[in-house]
């Protein structure tokens, strides 16, 4: 005959083991959930404030030789430089999808943007943006016009835009469109209107 106090002790021990098991299982699940979220390889950047915005981007359509405004939901930071960069990337995202209305090479991206004063923006692009760009007057001008017009519409106060490739000046985008000059946004308005 097992003594009563021993039975009670064993019951309490089993209960403790059961509770411990449940707690351990819960902790394990939480750890796994955290480990899934953890491997974000993005560089550590300061927290930026901003919000998701519904903007219009000017998209080039090769088949129609036209530029058309299209809506896009983009997270736009409050900082003016970051806002310009994200706006330009929203245009490139349209061209990098498959199928694309105006195909660009994979890797075409905006490395960085710099403001000179308040009204002049220097846009530094990746090598793939220029090296892999299809050659032709119309194709190259449509790319630049769509970028500058979208920028002008979503980042007020930009009057001049200059493009660099991997931090350096280049004569042309792919043999035709001028990359040495500063593009005046008012002149590009006129060009974009001709494409619309």
Partner 1 sequence: MRWNKLLLLFIVAAALCGLLAISSAAPQQQLTVYTSQTSYSLPVLDREGKAYIALVDLLSPLGAAAPTLKNKEWRVQLNNADARLTEGKSKAVIRGNQLDLDGKVLVENQRVLVPMSAALPLLTHLLNVSVDFHQPARRLFVGNVNARFTAAFKDGDAPSLTLNFSQPVHPDGDQEEIRNGVLFTHSNRTTLIFKKEPLISDTNTQQFGDGAIQSMAFTEENGRALLTISGNTHLNIVRSDDGKTITLRPAAPAAAASPASGSVAAASADNPRRTQEFFVMIDPSHGGYDKGANFGGKLLEKDVTLKLARELRKELEERGIPSRMLRDSDVDVPMERRAEITNEQRAGIYVALHAGRPGHGVRVYTPLLADPQQPSGRFIPWENAQAVALDRSKAAGQAVAGELRKRGMNVATLGIPIRPLNNIVVPAIAVELAPEGDDLQSFESVKRNAGIASAIATGIAQARTQIGARP
Residues that bind partner 1 (CB under 8 A): 62-63, 65, 134-139, 141, 171-172, 175-178, 180-181, 183-184, 186-187, 190-191, 194-195
Q: Shortest distance, CB of residue 186 to partner 1, whole angstroms?
A: 7
Q: Shortest distance, CB of residue 187 to partner 1, whole angstroms?
A: 4
Could you tell me the CA-to-CA distances from 24 to 27, 28, 29, 126 in Å, in that order?
A: 5, 6, 9, 49
Q: Shortest distance, CB of residue 46 to partner 1, whole angstroms?
A: 36
Sign of CA dihedral 138, 100, 172, 159: positive
Could you tell me the CA-to-CA distances from 52 to 74, 81, 96, 102, 113 in Å, in that order?
A: 5, 16, 21, 25, 20
Q: Shortest distance, CB of residue 148 to partner 1, whole angstroms?
A: 11
Closer of 72 and 164 to partner 1 (Cβ) = 164
Closer of 66 and 96 to partner 1 (Cβ) = 66
Of residues 55, 48, 50, the one with CA closest to residue 152: 55
């Amino acid at each position: 005959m097992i003594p009563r106090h021993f039975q009670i002790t064993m019951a309490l021990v089993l209960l403790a083991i059961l509770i411990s098991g449940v707690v351990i299982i819960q902790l394990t699940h939480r750890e796994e959930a955290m480990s899934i979220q953890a491997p974000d390889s993005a560089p550590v950047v300061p927290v930026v404030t901003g919000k998701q915005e519904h903007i219009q981007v000017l998209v080039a359509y090769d088949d129609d030789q036209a530029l058309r405004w299209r809506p896009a939901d983009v997270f736009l930071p409050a900082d003016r430089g970051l806002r310009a960069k994200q706006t330009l990337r929203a245009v490139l995202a349209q061209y990098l999808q498959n199928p694309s209305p105006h195909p660009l090479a994979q890797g075409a991206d905006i490395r960085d943007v710099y403001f000179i004063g308040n009204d002049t923006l220097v846009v530094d692009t990746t090598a793939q943006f220029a090296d892999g760009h299809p050659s032709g007057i119309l194709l190259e001008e449509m790319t630049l016009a769509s970028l500058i017009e979208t920028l002008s519409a979503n980042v007020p106060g930009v009057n001049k835009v200059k493009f660099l490739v991997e931090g350096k000046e280049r004569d042309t985008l792919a043999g035709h469109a001028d990359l040495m000059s500063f593009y005046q946004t008012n002149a590009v308005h006129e060009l974009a209107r001709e494409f619309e």
